């Protein structure tokens, strides 16, 4: 009872006013423990173990994960819990792809290192002459997206009608889907897209054509170095390559989001706290994103246990099909009426908060430190997280809004957003290791999108620190009596087109 009294008294002050005292989230943070979070993580691991080592949307492992979260929330009696079903197009690779230079100087390229099959690529096995598109820029332009290679039908030399041919295009101004559809329309049997070449745009492309793609050819992405070499060889004489992919695209696969909404609080200032529940097909996804899903579940359960009475309605959301291109969160936002968009005060997003080689990343809401998408009002959300970490004498780093997670649908309609991230495939720098510990020169999560993303692939310290910050920010926005000013909600203003769609590049 004392804990409830502390919560009731201490948490009714508005945190967004510079003259108001800060919200005291101590009671909720103390209630949210690593032990509680790990109970959920162990449940997700057991579900994956029993269902082919995956919790991907559209699989029994995902359905069981959703049922577990639903049962936990319904047992509290504190929330209105609803399942929001939707259909999506599921993509997966059925065999290791092949990319070879047959002549000159034969070379076998290594799958998932030298090249990667683009999501929603079709199946095909093509051996043919390599033909470069017009508008390839080598050396690359001074700025990103300088190349329009493959973006117009006229960029493709008309293909042979008697022999197989493979098109070579460069990343640049348009979506990969556009390049693929143009290549097929020009008569090509496969497409290779190489990275553009500026700093940060040199690695092997991991791309998506998106489920809207209408092409039926195999499409792969490769690095700038390999693309440049192939381009120079084509200019010197005939080049023959082989591209082979074996994929499956299942249309209209049923899956769902799970929503848990407090029964009290102002509906015109609703706080949406989200994390994606699905894993990739390749593994159980205990960090990505069992960590975020478990953290917000424990926050939700402890709010119920404390019988918190929020000033503003709080909706916890577990998104489906994030790994297929942010589909569940986009479906949710698309389903909102104009009034419901205006009534959504903020989205808090938690996608990977337990990376074993972690950094405390905070989304750069005001775009002051990174090349972030425009998002009016999101700087307020960033400040809440940064100020919290500062109050705990914990360093934090900005990370870009770049379309890689479920905040994307919210900021696209002007809803302020923010959240936390502990790192994925990016490489930890020596400077970061000096501040946060861990090992420089390796990934923040060496098991990102792999079978080894298991219960052993977590930092308990990261879970502890990030779940406290999650609880704090959730309560701050739940209890504030002021609104975030200067947003674009209801103005029909969308952000710029992101390079990423989830974990994959779309252009």
pLDDT of res. 490? 72
Same domain for 271 and 297: yes
Check residue 286 and give its pLDDT.
98
Same domain, 83 and 159: no
Of 181, 298, 311, 322, which is the active-site residue? 322
At residue 482, the pLDDT reads 86
**pLDDT of 261:** 98
324 in the same domain as 201: no
CATH number, domain of 81, equals: 3.40.630.10
Are both 302 and 318 inside the same structural domain?
Answer: yes
Q: Which pLDDT value is given to residue 216?
A: 98
Q: What is the pLDDT of residue 489?
A: 86
Domain containing residue 223: CATH number: 3.50.30.30
Say yes or no: 258 and 348 in one domain: yes
Chunked in runs of 10, what are the mean pLDDT values of the chain (507 residues)?
A: 36 40 88 98 98 98 98 98 98 97 98 98 98 96 92 94 96 97 97 96 97 97 98 98 98 98 98 98 98 98 98 98 98 97 97 98 95 90 97 97 96 96 98 98 98 98 98 97 83 71 95
Closest by CA to 214, choosing from 177, 251, 186, 189, is 177
Inter-residue contact 329 to 273 (CB < 8 Å): no
Q: Are residues 332 and 353 in the same domain?
A: yes
pLDDT score of 462:
98
Final residue of a structural domain among 245, 260, 287: 245
| Dihedral sign computed on CA atoms, order 467, 471, 473, 474 | positive
In terms of domains, do 266 and 291 share one? yes
The token pair that represents 145 in the structure block? 């997206």
- Domain range holding 217? 95-245
158 and 74 in a common domain: no
The residue among 181, 213, 245 that closes a domain is: 245
Cα separations (Å) of 210 from 178, 294, 332, 423?
10, 28, 18, 24
Q: Cis omega (within 30 of 0) on the bond before 113?
A: no
Structural domain total, the chain: 2
Domain stop point among 195, 229, 245 = 245
pLDDT of residue 136: 97
For residue 189, CA distances in Å to 168, 180, 387, 483 come to 11, 10, 54, 54
Closest C-alpha to 410, from 351, 470, 344: 344
**322 is a catalytic site residue:** yes
Q: Which of 39, 75, 44 is nearest to 62 (CA)?
A: 44
């Amino acid at each position: 009872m004392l804990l409830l009294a502390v919560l009731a008294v201490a948490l009714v002050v508005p945190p967004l006013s510079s003259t108001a005292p800060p919200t005291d989230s101590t009671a909720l943070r103390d209630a949210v423990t690593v032990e509680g979070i790990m109970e959920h993580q162990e449940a997700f691991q057991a579900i994956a173990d029993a269902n082919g080592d995956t919790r991907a949307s559209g699989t029994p492992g995902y359905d069981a994960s959703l049922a577990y979260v639903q049962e936990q929330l319904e047992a509290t009696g504190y929330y209105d819990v609803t399942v929001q079903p939707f259909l999506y197009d599921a993509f997966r690779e059925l065999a290791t792809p092949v990319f070879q230079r047959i002549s000159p100087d034969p070379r076998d390229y290594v799958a998932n290192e030298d090249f990667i099959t683009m999501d929603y690529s079709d199946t095909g096995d093509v051996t043919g002459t390599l033909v470069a598109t017009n508008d390839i820029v080598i050396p690359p332009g001074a700025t990103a997206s300088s190349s329009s290679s493959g973006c117009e039908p006229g960029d493709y030399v008309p293909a042979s009608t008697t022999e197989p041919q493979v098109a070579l295009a460069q990343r640049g101004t348009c979506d990969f889907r556009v390049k693929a559809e143009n290549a097929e329309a020009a008569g090509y049997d496969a497409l290779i897209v190489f990275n553009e070449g500026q700093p940060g745009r040199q690695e092997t492309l991991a791309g998506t054509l998106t489920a809207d793609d209408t092409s039926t050819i195999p499409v792969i992405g490769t690095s700038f170095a390999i693309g440049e070499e192939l381009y120079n060889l084509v200019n010197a004489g005939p080049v023959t390559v082989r591209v082979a992919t074996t994929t499956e695209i299942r249309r209209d696969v049923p899956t769902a989001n799970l929503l848990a909404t407090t029964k009290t609080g102002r509906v015109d200032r609703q706080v949406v706290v989200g994390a994606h529940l699905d894993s990739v097909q390749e593994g159980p996804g205990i960090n990505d994103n069992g960590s975020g899903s478990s953290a917000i579940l424990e926050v939700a359960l402890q709010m119920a246990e404390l019988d918190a009475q929020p000033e503003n309605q709080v909706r916890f959301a577990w998104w489906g099909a994030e790994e297929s291109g942010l589909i569940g969160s986009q479906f949710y936002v698309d389903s909102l009426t104009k009034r419901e968009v205006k009534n959504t005060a903020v989205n808090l997003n938690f996608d990977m908060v337990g990376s074993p080689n972690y950094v405390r990343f905070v989304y750069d809401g005001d775009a002051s430190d990174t090349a972030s998408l425009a998002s009016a009002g999101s700087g307020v959300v960033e400040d809440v997280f940064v100020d919290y970490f500062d109050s705990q004498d914990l360093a934090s780093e900005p990370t870009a809004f770049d379309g890689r997670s479920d905040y994307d649908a919210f900021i696209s309609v002007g809803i302020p957003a923010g959240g936390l991230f502990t790192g994925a495939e990016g490489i930890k720098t020596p400077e970061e290791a000096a501040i946060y510990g861990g090992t420089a020169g390796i990934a923040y999560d060496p098991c990102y999108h792999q079978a080894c993303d298991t219960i052993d692939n977590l930092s308990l310290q990261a879970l502890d620190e990030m779940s406290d910050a999650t609880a704090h920010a959730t309560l701050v926005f739940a209890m504030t009596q002021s609104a975030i000013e200067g947003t674009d909600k209801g103005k029909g203003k969308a952000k710029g087109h992101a390079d990423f769609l989830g974990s994959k590049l779309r252009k």
